[in-house]
Amino acid sequence: MASSLASSNVANGVLGRRHRHGGGVDGLRARAHASASSSRARAPARVLAHGPGGGKHLDPTDVPKRSSAPVGVAGAVAEAPETPSPRERKNVYTETYGCQMNVNDSEVMLSVLADNGYDTTDDVHDADVILINTCAIRDKAEAKIWQRLAYFKSLRRRRKKNEKPVVGVLGCMAERLKTQLLEADQLADLVAGPDAYRDLPNLISAVNSSGEKAMNVQLSVEETYADIVPVRKEGAHAAFVTIMRGCDNACSFCIVPYTRGRERSRDPASIEYEVRLLSEQGVKEVTLLGQNVNSYAYVAEEGAGADGATDFLSKLTGSMQFAALLDRVASVDPEMRVRFTSPHPKDFPDEVLEVIKNRPNVCKCLHMPAQSGSTTTLERMARGYTREAYLDLIKNVHEKIPGCAITTDIITGFCAETEEEHEDTVSLMKLVKYEQAFMFAYSEREGTAAARKMSDDVDDDVKQRRLAEIIDAFRSSASERNEREIGRVHLCLVEGVSKKNDRELTGKTDTSKWVVFADDDPRLLHRAAHVRREAGARERVRRLRRGF
């Protein structure tokens, strides 16, 4: 997942705010309200709990409790509080950096704020509150955040004292740096971790009422935000749906288990409800999100099939794994395309491949983060698989789903990486011929196992040279990838009109390729069409027919 500015204004409308459950199941709303109210009650206005020396910090090696939702909850949400009058409502401006999950987190956060008197604005100069949702996966990502905070500080200097906006830092960088952000020279007023978004109205209120800084970075073993329907852009045809939070893998280079906590799976009924709602709103593509989606494992509370449960919940017999969830989501709307990210190669199940193979609306594209092509490097990274096992997995994918696109993540210059190990990664790129790759030089993250136990001993110039060689290896197979696509038929979601020719349409295939084809039929917009790759320009295709 690339670190970049994902959205300067995640939502312009109120399409998602919070919706009542329409299933007619007695008691759902009341139970969800009780659950949400108790969650809010547990979150004080200012929680100065930030790891060692300041409260409980969840260690990724601890054994977690299984996540469980109130019995029978199927996406019902808490009753919204009384809507403030227009004069009382304030404006919030957001910027979101990092992965798709951060985008979805921002949508959740905006839903919480919308119910508490805040409207979104895309003009930072009109904002009463400025919130920046952050990424901590690499130094470059954090450097960008510091630059933006300095810019917001300059804006505040130009405002009158009683008109200065509250500036908050959210997400993974907030969880990683905690008080460092508050101690920086007037850059941030509040800090909130990924599990503290319900508490944002309280944190903002605390800053406004007392003038003091506020923080809640307490990680949770239960929070999944299952009862909150995210605020999304009005008219959006694609959406992210988070199915689980946290990560238990503890790869030696990765900060995510320390910034997002332990794995917990969202109840499948609430996921189905949200996807069904999106279908009713005209969304044509959903992407299921998790740090490791194939670790999804929901354990139903005892009595889930009792009176008051939905038909779906009554079918649960103790647990649900990712393959069953994926199949269930795909069945909600056969005309809605389904993607997911990211799985982990070490425990990717064959059952998921069967669902992809048998469900036409599940995209034939898999993100398989290799990180390295060297078994010894993978061992130091604590990835849990070898080069050979990874290649066997890729072979299995292609045998079961011919034509399935494979994408990946690569880190070069990891601790003690030798030239031989680097060449193993270069050869992996040439062997697999990835459709897309996110390639980066290693960036040490304080607090990770690699930072504690290993030395970041590969020179920066060597890292950059190796990165260039890996990129060259990826690009060298581009022409071969394009040649083998000629004549193949793909399902394409039509995204819009081509910028170069208003008589052409552009879209994205189920294998994540952007294509252009001659057609000016407006009825095709945001609909599926079958297209065939033509010889010539690499994006050029011919439309064959509509639909799945």
- Compute the distance between CA of residue 220 and CA of residue 245 in angstroms, rounded to an integer: 10
Q: Please determine, for residue 9, whether its predicted confidence score (pLDDT) is greater than 70.
A: no
Residue predicted with more confidence, 365 or 491: 365
The residue type of 161 is: K
Residue 26 within a domain: yes
Residue 382 within a domain: no
Comparing CA positions, the residue from 440, 514, 515, 509 lying closest to residue 474 is 440
Residue 199 within a domain: yes
The conformation of residue 35, written as its DSSP 8-state character, comes to: H
Cα 403 from chain centre: 26
- Compute the distance between CA of residue 283 and CA of residue 275 in angstroms, rounded to an integer: 9
> Helices H, strands E: what count in the chain?
17, 22
- Going from the C-alpha of 230 to that of each of 5, 140, 289, 384, the distances in angstroms are 19, 28, 14, 34
Residues 6+ apart with CB under 8 A from 435: 365, 405, 406, 407, 481, 511, 512, 513
CATH code: domain of residue 541:
2.40.50.140
Mean pLDDT of the region 478-507: 84
The reported pLDDT for the residue numbered 40 is 37
Residue predicted with more confidence, 81 or 265: 265
Residue whose token pair is 């469980």: 68
Containing structural domain, residue 98: 5-216
- Compute the distance between CA of residue 367 and CA of residue 99 in angstroms, rounded to an integer: 14
Tokens (6 digits) for 382: 């604590």
Query: 231 and 197 in contact (C-beta within 8 Å)?
Result: no
Query: 138 and 172 in contact (C-beta within 8 Å)?
Result: no
Task: Answer with the one of 157, 183, 216 that is the final residue of a domain.
Answer: 216
The top-scoring range by mean pLDDT among 66-70, 80-84, 307-311, 479-483 is: 479-483
The residue type of 337 is: R
- Compute the distance between CA of residue 129 and CA of residue 204 in angstroms, rounded to an integer: 8
Any idea which of 22-36, 174-188, 194-208, 362-376 has the lowest mean pLDDT? 22-36
Q: What percent of the chain is predicted at pLDDT more than 90?
A: 64
- Compute the distance between CA of residue 116 and CA of residue 231 in angstroms, rounded to an integer: 13
Task: Answer with the one of 216, 246, 281 that is the final residue of a domain.
Answer: 216
The conformation of residue 524, written as its DSSP 8-state character, comes to: G
Q: What percent of the chain is predicted at pLDDT more than 70?
A: 78
- Compute the distance between CA of residue 38 and CA of residue 365 in angstroms, rounded to an integer: 40
Tokens (6 digits) for 58: 């969840």
Mean pLDDT of the region 52-77: 33
The conformation of residue 423, written as its DSSP 8-state character, comes to: H
CATH code: domain of residue 135:
3.40.50.12160
Q: Is 371 helix (H, G, I), strand (E, B) or coil?
A: strand
36 pLDDT tier (thresholds 50, 70, 90): very low
Any idea which of 52-66, 148-162, 185-199, 365-379 has the lowest mean pLDDT? 52-66
Task: Answer with the one of 188, 216, 244 that is the final residue of a domain.
Answer: 216
Residue 103 within a domain: yes
Query: 540 and 517 in contact (C-beta within 8 Å)?
Result: yes
Any idea which of 267-276, 403-412, 524-533 has the lowest mean pLDDT? 524-533
Residue 168 within a domain: yes
368 pLDDT tier (thresholds 50, 70, 90): very high
Task: Report phi then psi at 385, rounded to 5.
Answer: -150, 165
Average pLDDT along the chain = 83
Any idea which of 397-411, 413-427, 526-540 has the lowest mean pLDDT? 526-540
- Compute the distance between CA of residue 359 and CA of residue 350 in angstroms, rounded to an integer: 14
Residue 164 within a domain: yes
539 pLDDT tier (thresholds 50, 70, 90): low
Angle at 476 between CA 475 and CA 482, to 5 degrees: 80
- Tell me: the pLDDT tens digits for 309-355? 444 443 444 589 999 999 999 999 999 999 999 999 999 999 999 99
- Compute the distance between CA of residue 405 and CA of residue 410 in angstroms, rounded to an integer: 17
The conformation of residue 174, written as its DSSP 8-state character, comes to: H
Cα 260 from chain centre: 12
Residue 402 within a domain: no
Residue 160 within a domain: yes
- Compute the distance between CA of residue 408 and CA of residue 319 in angstroms, rounded to an integer: 30
Number of domains in the chain: 2
- Compute the distance between CA of residue 356 and CA of residue 456 in angstroms, rounded to an integer: 40
